[in-house]
Amino acid sequence: MSPIPILKLRVKYSRSFSVSALSHIEAVNIIRNCVIKSGLPVCASGAARKKLRVSFGPPLPVGYASYCELFDMEMEKRVDSEASKTALSESCPEGFKIMSVAVVPVISLPVDSAANLSKYVVEHLPVRNGYEEELKRFFELKEFLIERITDKNRKIMDARPLVAAMKYNNNAVEIMLRFGPGRTVKPDIVLQKLFNLSDKEKQDLRITRMSFYREHEGGQRIEL
């Protein structure tokens, strides 16, 4: 019988560009090993209680860095959040860094569905003039159609409602994107079409996910 969690800890960690080639599954396995090595009293289930009760936030696309990756741990004993941060930090490999550990309600939304808005910084744009004017024109558009390609199909989608904010500064773009089931778009796809970038220019972009938010119907945004 799986133990009932008495505490849930939400961990925020960063991933540097040195580990940006990792897939989501590879990163998840690394974090799970980190949790095991930490010795923290995480609830476990399954045969021989080997399945840790650890859940992860939205996947980070391959090639991106991040300052805001998230995972939740359901704990069978009360532990101090700072002590937990230290234990996890000592177990993390190079390229991963534990940023914070916070207590959240045990009955809170799963971390993979708590966020519906993310902020990115996109650097290494081609050096040229006119980016600010193109951003201004974007927000005058009623729709912004892009082709979304998955392993199963190709479809045209309107990305305009997904772009919550976008600004240009010092040859970089800060962009906030809404996401959810069936409505996800990557920042490099948006900027490639908006700025008419070549595939090579798109590949040269340096993209960092900066933060996750919960955006409510009234427009209020709470950072996770």
Q: What is the pLDDT of residue 47?
A: 55
CATH for 115-223, options being 2.20.25, 1.10.3210, 3.30.70, 3.90.226: 3.30.70
Taking Cα atoms as reference points, which of 66, 76, 71 lies closest to residue 101? Answer: 71
Contact (Cβ atoms closer than 8 angstroms) between residue 175 and residue 209: no
Q: Is the dihedral of CA 137, 142, 145, 148 positive or negative?
A: positive
User: Where does the pLDDT of residue 2 fall: very low under 50, low under 70, confident under 90, or very high at 90 and above?
Assistant: low
Q: What would the mean pLDDT of 123-145 be, rounded to a whole number?
A: 94
pLDDT at residue 178 greater than cutoff 90: yes
**Identity of the residue numbered 100:** S
Taking Cα atoms as reference points, which of 124, 167, 101 lies closest to residue 17? Answer: 124
Q: Kindly report, residue by residue over 22-70, the tens digit of the pLDDT.
A: 999 999 999 999 999 999 999 998 655 568 999 999 999 999 999 999 9
Cα separation, 173 vs 30, in Å, equals 31
Contact (Cβ atoms closer than 8 angstroms) between residue 70 and residue 11: yes
Mean pLDDT in the chain?
Answer: 93
Q: What would the mean pLDDT of 140-163 be, rounded to a whole number?
A: 88
Q: What is the pLDDT of residue 181?
A: 84
pLDDT at residue 127 greater than cutoff 80: yes
Domain with CATH 3.30.70.580 in the chain: 7-113
Q: What is the pLDDT of residue 138?
A: 95
User: Where does the pLDDT of residue 73 fall: very low under 50, low under 70, confident under 90, or very high at 90 and above?
Assistant: very high
* CA 76 to mean position of chain CA atoms: 27
Q: What would the mean pLDDT of 85-112 be, rounded to a whole number?
A: 94
Query: What percent of the chain lies above the pLDDT cut of 90?
Result: 80
CATH code, residues 7-113: 3.30.70.580
pTM > 0.85: yes
